[in-house]
Amino acid sequence: MALSFFSIILFLFLSLHSHYTFTPVFAAPSEGVQITYGSVIKLMHEKTKFRLHSHDVPYGSGSGQQSVTGFPNVDDSNSYWIVRPDPDTTAKQGDTIKIGTIIRLQHMSTRRWLHSHLHASPISGNLEVSCFGGDGESDTGDYWRLEIEGSGKTWRQDQRIRLHHVDTGGYLHSHNKKYSRIAGGQQEVCGTREKRADNVWLAAEGVYLPITQKK
Does residue 198 contact residue 47 with C-beta atoms inside 8 Å?
yes
pLDDT, tens digit, 9 for 90 and up, residues 86-104: 999 999 999 999 999 999 9
Q: What's the sign of the alpha-carbon dihedral 172, 177, 179, 185?
A: positive
Instruction: Please state the rounded mean pLDDT for residues 142-163.
Output: 95
pLDDT at residue 169 tops 70: yes
What gap in Å lies between CA 17 and CA 209, rounded to an integer? 13
Percentage above 70 pLDDT, the chain? 83
Q: What is the pLDDT of residue 27?
A: 60
What gap in Å lies between CA 186 and CA 205, rounded to an integer? 19
DSSP bridge pairs for 131: 66, 114
pLDDT-derived band at 24, boundaries 50, 70, 90: low
Residue 76, burial from CB neighbour count under 10 angstroms (0-12, 13-18, 19+): middle
What gap in Å lies between CA 60 and CA 66, rounded to an integer? 10
pLDDT, tens digit, 9 for 90 and up, residues 67-86: 999 999 999 999 999 999 99
Does residue 32 contact residue 156 with C-beta atoms inside 8 Å?
yes
Does residue 174 contact residue 108 with C-beta atoms inside 8 Å?
no
pLDDT at residue 56 tops 90: yes
Per the model's pLDDT, the better-predicted residue between 207 and 9 turns out to be: 207
What gap in Å lies between CA 184 and CA 3, rounded to an integer? 18
**CATH code of the region 5-214:** 2.80.10.50
Percentage above 90 pLDDT, the chain? 75
What gap in Å lies between CA 69 and CA 77, rounded to an integer? 14
Return the SS3 of 207: strand
Closest C-alpha among 166, 46, 188 to residue 101: 166
